[in-house]
Amino acid sequence: FGFVYMLHFASFTQDIGAYQEYKKGTERYSNWFDPPLEIRNGSITVPRGPGVGIKDIGELLKGAKSVT
């Protein structure tokens, strides 16, 4: 979901340019963010939470193993 960093940058840049790529497959992780990523009429929602806008990092990392 690294494209979310660019999404934040593009959301506040006055003239980002005419060509932006279309991100397919956002349904897979759209609910990780607040608000969820949604593409409608050529626009995508921008998460507004802290950092990149991940809603519940604890739930996202549930079952992850620590690497030392």
Residue 57 lies in a domain: yes
Do the domain assignments include residue 13?
no
User: Which parts of the chain have pLDDT scores under 50?
Assistant: none
Are 35 and 45 in contact by the 8 Å Cβ rule? The answer is yes
Indicate whether 39 belongs to any domain.
yes
24-32 CB contacts, 8 Å cutoff, 24+ apart: 29/1, 31/55, 32/1, 32/60
pTM beyond 0.75:
no
Provide the pLDDT for residue 8: 85
pLDDT of amino acid 25: 82
Structural domain of residue 46, as residue ranges? 1-7+27-62
Dihedral pair phi/psi, residue 40, rounded to 5°: -145, 130
CA 32 to chain centre: 8
Query: How much is the pLDDT for 1?
Result: 66
Q: Is 28 helix (H, G, I), strand (E, B) or coil?
A: helix
Asked, for residue 18, whether it belongs to a domain, the answer is no
The answer to whether residue 35 sits within a structural domain is yes
Total number of domains constituting the chain: 1
